[in-house]
Chain A
Amino acid sequence: MADVDVRMTVNGVARRSTVPPRLTLADHLRSTCGLTGTHLGCEHGACGACTILVDGDAVRACLMFAVQADDTEITTIEGIADRDGRLSVVQEAFREHHGLQCGFCTPGFVVSVTAFLRDNPDPSDQEIREALSGNLCRCTGYQGIFAAVRAAADALRATDADAGAAARDGSHP
């Protein structure tokens, strides 16, 4: 069972490793890369706690082998906030709306929502609920999470509108 060389960019950092083929991408990120924010809640693709971005797409890190991520660009929860630690709009909204309690499922939600709002900047409530349905939370009853996503969507649109207006004015925001 020969080990395999893989190269991937994780949160902007190029990484080379030699991994056993059966090593899941989630375990690779947690153990080899030391990025423990990607959590394992079920290891069978149902809870969403391990959600990461692979080439921009939100995917379950437990449903990929590290070898399948060769030559990809990966963003984990650790890569969502600014480098100086400033929370993203989505993270800030989760904090503001009590969208987390124990915090174990939270990285998966934040990563999923980040991708969802990027692709669906003006979601209906029903679209938000459906987008969240692939992540399980046992603490919040989804109340604060839903409110956070609604608020983040509105905040991101407002930011975009301001930026758009600024661009039209020729001024800088």
Chain B
Amino acid sequence: MTAAARYAGARVQRVEDARLLTGHGSFVDDVVRPGMLHAHFVRSPLARGRITGIDVSAALALDGVHAVFTAEDLNPGVREPWYSLVGPKVPDTPRPALAEGEVRFVGDPVALVVAVDRYVAEDAAALVVVDYEPLEPVVDYKTATGSEELVHAAYPGNVAGTMSGRPAEQLAEVFASAAHVVEETIHQQAYQAVPMETRGLIAEYSAHDGGMTIWASTQVPHEVRLFCSRALGLSEHRVRVIMRDTGGGFGQKALPQREDLCVMLAALKVPAAVKWIEDRQENLSSAGQGRHEHGTARLAFDADGTILAAALDHVQDAGAYPVPWPVMTAVVVGMLFPGPYRVPAATFTCTSVFSNTNGRTAYRGPWQYETLAREVLLDVAARGMGIDAVELRRRNLLRHDELPVTNPNGMPYSDISPLETFEHALEILDHESFRREQAAARAAGRYIGVGTSSYVEPTTSGRGFHGTEGATIRIEPSGVVNVYVSGGSSGNSLETTAVQLTADALGVDIGQVNTIQGDTAVTPFGGGTGGSRSGSMIAGAVAETAAGLRERLLAIAAHRLEAAVEDLELADGRAQVRGTPGAGLSLAEIADIAYFDTRKLPPGVPPGLEASGRYQAQSPTIWANATHVCTCEVDVVTGAVTILRYIVSEDCGPMINPNVVEGQIAGGTVQGIGGALLENSVYDEDGNPITSTFVDYLLPTSTEVPVIEYGHVETPGPGPGGYKGVGEGGAIGAPPAVVNAVADALAPFGVTITRLPMTPASIVALLQEAEANQGVRV
């Protein structure tokens, strides 16, 4: 029917770029509404305290201040603030609009000032007097379960929830009789999504018609709409959410948070639009953290290094107000701990613990700890057994021809290629020659090392809120095409993706296709950006919708040309009789018939060329996998780590646009490198955040980042095009690859690395410890 895909698979230039490169993007802070007011939060300076009084009179008296809201004003207006992603039935954790009675972390929003501009709003916020009775904070989640102090009174032991696999006793015999057992407790620090555009929204309420319009920096406009309608008790169709350009999200903007709710509530009470743009200090201390967790991981091997069993006891920091329900995200850590290996038996426990700190939010591969723990432990095991870590993995990695297979925790893997990506990445490196280079370097007093990390990753959830995606395609009367999908692009090129796929589906030039996304009033409902779903789901939605339109195009053309439908093909913007050049109709000619010359339509074909379709995901999950390989040099005097080479061999199926795929891999990988070496959200012992500026919270810059080399293995997944998700994997695979490279470089010193980030000072401390233990001179 259609000619071979012309755009899918090609490095097509992005349609988003021209506006973004010239300063004409439309981010939420760029939107201006008539009479717009500006909001600023008064936040708690204490990690924990009882609010004993709030005096807003001085703030209200300031020129230009419209309102100062406290919990008393806003919180009673909250109806049903649950998330579509999670549903109303889970025992979700508390999430009040403004702090009520007690503040639970430094940055907890206590009052909201609305004023003529942000400068005045900040002046007024400084005049709001809040009296606190300080309470003993629970700063460290690691000791929180034994604390008498409670972050939330309803949660004894500060435990938000626990989930576990089969009883550990069932594996006791395997571990007891195994030739080798390795166990480490591995700690990961808190780090964050840090989108370059902070959070923000504008909420404008029209009292006369009960309509709310929200301009948002979001990954999921339809979740914002549903959330707002339920939380405020407005009809869903009276709420309109608009987003054009979102400046990065990485999970942090997947769900509306407390501040968003406050601004929505405030908009009901003031006579103009209210804009809130988070500042960077707020973002780094209040927008949510990820990754803060530790676990005791155990692996049992037989004498040949074959894995016999895997067990993980995992504990994660939920912070004070996690978003979403943390118990749901934690369990994935346990389920995936066996990873892409042949593991006969496994179990886990996953516990989420509250603390008086920044709440946990979704962050790019939220379960990534399973890969960190497993891959670091495999290297520790290999050193302990005297086997090269590469050889140990070769013996245990799943091969493509063993699939499908269900892991011992019940995860049903299919369509992946663990051993294949592993060998591919090592081939790009030339592992043997690196080992020779390493030996020569060590002889010369230089310490270089190689680390690998392999993982299997669930993408494109087929369930619930994420389970379907809609598209509307309109071939307009002149023959050009508009494709409408829900959007939520936050850097992940969804406009280009939709345009590429639609152009192929209709056999038209890409220049003839335009896309409209991010406006709930005009686009079909959709799940937005999250869980590495957009590419595959948009592909499904476009395929589903375009199929019907293609039939109509061909039927009209066949009727007009007096040819059989089977003899026609859609290509180059025409319905063409195969093998008869010139015998065909352009899309414009067909559209002219469909809209204006409808008597020429074949019987039974409706007028117009507009179709809507909704794709239902064809499997509960689409599995992707990859191997990361990192080499580095460690300066054993300063502890500095320099990454030398970085290779990712990824299997995300066929690629819609290799530029976009590689861009996602690179971006995620560098976030993971940041987590391994630089980024750290730190609190002092009183619970004060001490890394709330870009001077203290260290993002990777161009000078710390290696050139990333890509390998692509393509195993098609289920669903149209065989496309799989690729948004999160880089951030999952990178930290352990870097840890293992550093540990390998320092292997002569007998160093074991179990704490992130690997700061230069921490590396020196490990070396000094090794020196003290073994008499090795550093």
When distances are taken between beta carbons in the complex, the residues of chain A under 8 Å from B20 are: 100, 103, 106
Residue of B nearest to A147 (CB): B707
Once the chains are docked, how many angstroms separate the CA of A18 from the CA of B764?
55
Interface mask (B236-269 → A, CB under 8 Å = 1, otherwise 0): 0000000001111010000000000000000000
A122-145 contact mask (Cβ, 8 Å, vs B): 1 or 0 = 000000111011111111111111
Q: Kindly state the separation between the CA atoms of A130 and B670 in the bound complex, as whole angstroms.
A: 17
Report Cα–Cα, A137/B701, bound state, in Å. 8
Complex Cα distance A110/B21, Å?
7
With A137-B196, A138-B195 given, is the CB distance from A102 to B22 under 8 Å? no
- In angstroms, how far is the closest chain B Cβ from the Cβ of A79? 9
Residues of B within 8 A of A144 (CB): 659, 663, 666
Contact of A46 among B19, B668, B695 (CB under 8 A): B695
Q: Identify which of A30, A47, A96, A106 gathers the most chain B CB atoms within 10 Å of its CB.
A: A106
Q: B22 touching A78 by the CB < 8 A rule?
A: yes
User: Does residue B333 face the partner (Cβ distance < 8 Å to A)?
Assistant: no
A103 touches which of B25, B198, B250, B703 (Cβ 8 Å): B25
Distance in angstroms between the alpha carbons of A146 and B707 in the assembled complex = 9
Q: Is A65 an interface residue (CB 8 A)?
A: no
Contacts of B194 in A (CB 8 A): 138
B775 interface hit (Cβ, 8 Å): no
Chain A hits for B476, CB < 8 A: none
Closest beta carbon of chain A to B675's beta carbon, Å? 13
Q: Given A102-B195, A138-B671, check contact A37 B13 (CB 8 Å).
A: no
Whose C-beta in chain A lies nearest to the C-beta of B119? A22
The distance from the CB of A28 to the nearest CB of chain B, in whole angstroms, is: 12
Q: Does the CB pair B708–A141 fall under 8 Å?
A: yes
When distances are taken between beta carbons in the complex, the residues of chain A under 8 Å from B670 are 140-142
| Cβ–Cβ contact A139 & B248, under 8 A | yes
A95 B245 Cβ-Cβ under 8 A: no
Stretch at the interface among B489-497, B499-507, B766-774: B489-497
B148 within 8 A of A: no
Contact B667 A140 (CB under 8 A): yes
Contact B702 A139 (CB under 8 A): no
Known: A101-B491, A143-B707. A138 touches B23 (CB 8 A): no
Chain A residues with CB under 8 Å of B490's CB are 102
Cβ-based interface call for A163 (8 A): no
Q: Choose one: B24, B279, B667, B695; the contact of A101 (CB below 8 Å).
A: B667
Q: Which residue on B lies nearest to A42, using beta carbons?
A: B280
User: Residue B645 at the A interface, CB < 8 A?
Assistant: no
Q: Does B388 contact A (CB under 8 A)?
A: no
How far, in whole Å, are A106 and B18 apart by their CA atoms in the complex? 11
Which of B22, B27, B669, B695 makes the CB contact (< 8 A) with A85? B22
Which residues of B have CB within 8 Å of A94?
A: 17, 21
* Distance of A35 from chain B, by nearest CB (Å): 7
| Main secondary structure on B side of the interface with A | loop
Residue B660 CB within 8 A of the other chain: yes
B29 at the interface (CB under 8 A from A): yes
Give Cα A23–Cα B120 distance, bound, in whole angstroms. Answer: 11
Interchain CB contact under 8 A, A77 and B22: yes
Closest to A107 in B: B23
User: At the interface, yes or no: A105 with Cβ under 8 Å from chain B?
Assistant: yes
Nearest CB in chain A to that of B277: its residue = A40
Tell me the A1-31 residues at the B interface (CB within 8 Å): 20, 22-23, 30
* Residues of chain B lying within 8 A (CB to CB) of residue A132: 701-703
Min C-beta distance of A82 to chain B, whole Å: 10
Give complex CA distance A130, B24 in Å. Answer: 28
Q: Which residues of B contact A107 (CB under 8 A)?
A: 23
- A23 vs B25: C-alpha distance when bound (angstroms): 23
Cα distance A139–B660 when bound, in Å?
11
Chain B positions within 8 Å of A36 at CB level: 23, 27, 29-30
Give the shortest distance, in Å, between A29 (CB) and chain B (any CB). 10
Q: Are B246 and A95 in contact (CB under 8 A)?
A: no
Determine the distance from Cα of A147 to Cα of B250 in the docked complex, in whole angstroms.
24
Separation of A140 and B730 alpha carbons in the complex (Å): 11
Interface 1/0 per residue, A76-109 and B, CB below 8 Å: 1110110001010001001110101111111100
Confirm or deny: B197 has a beta carbon within 8 angstroms of a beta carbon on chain A.
yes
In the complex, the answer to whether A39 meets B27 with C-beta atoms within 8 Å is yes
Q: Mark B478-499, 1 if CB is under 8 A from A, else 0.
A: 0000000000001111000000
B699 within 8 A of A: yes
Q: Do A42 and B703 have beta carbons less than 8 Å apart?
A: no
B457 interface residue per 8 A CB criterion: no
Residues of chain B within 8 A (CB-CB) of A98 are 14, 659-660, 662-663
Proximity bits, B716-734, A CB within 8 Å = 1, else 0: 0000000000000010000
CA distance A138 to B730 in the complex (A): 13
Contact digits for B1-23, partner A, Cβ 8 Å, 1 yes 0 no: 00000000000011011111111
Is B693 part of the contact surface with A, judged by Cβ < 8 Å? yes
In the complex, are the beta carbons of A37 and B22 less than 8 A apart? yes
Query: Please, which residue of chain B has its CB at the minimum distance from the CB of A111?
Result: B23
- A139 to B700, alpha carbons, bound, how many Å? 11
A75→B14 CA distance, assembly (Å): 26
Interface centre among B21, B493, B659 (most CB of A within 10 A): B21
A-chain residues with CB within 8 Å of residue B27 when the two chains form the complex: 36, 39, 104
B705 at the interface (CB under 8 A from A): yes
Nearest-neighbour CB distance to chain B for A61, whole angstroms, equals 12
* Contacting residues, chain B, for A43 (C-beta < 8 A): 279-280
With known contacts A38-B23, A78-B22, A143-B663, A49–B196 Cβ distance under 8 A = yes
Q: Are A95 and B21 in contact (CB under 8 A)?
A: yes
B202 to chain A, nearest CB (A): 14
- Interchain CA distance A106-B13 in the complex, whole Å: 16
Residue on A with the closest CB to B245? A103
Closest A residue, CB atoms, query B17: A95
**Which among B248, B671, B695 has the highest number of chain A CB atoms within 10 Å?**
B248
Note all chain A residues with C-beta closer than 8 A to B693. Answer: 42, 44, 46
Question: Of A49, A91, A133, which is within 8 A of B703 by CB?
Answer: A133
* A118–B668 alpha-carbon span in the complex (Å): 32
Q: Which residues of the partner chain B approach A41 to less than 8 Å between Cβ atoms?
A: 196-198, 247, 280
Q: Are A101 and B492 in contact, with the CB atoms below 8 A? A: yes
Are A133 and B22 closer than 8 Å at their CB atoms? no
Per-position 1/0 for B122-161, Cβ under 8 A of A:
0000000000000000000000000000000000000000
Q: Is the CB of A46 within 8 A of B694?
A: yes
B196, A91: Cβ atoms closer than 8 Å = no
Best-surrounded residue of A37, A85, A101 (most CB of chain B within 10 A) = A101
Q: Do residues A87 and B21 form an inter-chain contact, with CB atoms below 8 A?
A: yes
Asked whether B248 lies within 8 Å of A102 as measured between CB atoms, the reply is yes
Asked if B197 contacts A102 (CB within 8 A), the reply is: yes
- Would you give the shortest CB distance from B82 to chain A, in whole angstroms? 28
CA distance A20 to B662 in the complex (A): 46
Complex alpha-carbon distance, A118 and B21, angstroms: 18
Chain A: minimal CB distance from B150 (Å): 35
With both beta carbons as reference points, the residue of chain B lying nearest to A34 in the complex is identified as B32
Residues of B within 8 A of A139 (CB): 196, 248, 491, 663, 667
Report how far A30 CA is from B663 CA in the complex, Å. 29
Tell whether, in the assembled complex, residue A136 and residue B196 are in contact, meaning their CB atoms are under 8 Å apart.
yes
A-B contact pairs, 13 of them (CB 8 A): A23-B119, A39-B27, A41-B197, A41-B247, A44-B280, A44-B694, A47-B694, A98-B14, A104-B245, A138-B667, A139-B196, A140-B667, A141-B670
Instruction: Beyond the given A43-B279, A141-B666, please list 19 additional residue pairs across the A-B interface where CB-CB is below 8 A.
Output: A40-B277, A41-B198, A42-B280, A42-B693, A77-B22, A87-B22, A91-B21, A95-B17, A101-B491, A102-B245, A102-B247, A102-B490, A102-B491, A103-B247, A104-B25, A138-B667, A140-B663, A140-B667, A146-B707
Listed in ascending order, the chain B residues whose CB lies under 8 Å from chain A are 13-14, 16-25, 27, 29-30, 119, 194-198, 245-248, 250, 277, 279-280, 490-493, 659-660, 662-663, 666-671, 693-695, 699-703, 705, 707-708, 730
- Residues of chain A at the chain B interface (Cβ within 8 Å): 20, 22-23, 30, 35-44, 46-47, 49, 76-78, 80-81, 85, 87, 91, 94-96, 98, 100-107, 110, 128-130, 132-146
Q: Shortest 10 CB-CB distances between A and B: which pairs?
A: A37-B23, A104-B247, A103-B20, A102-B491, A141-B670, A46-B694, A77-B23, A101-B491, A141-B666, A132-B702
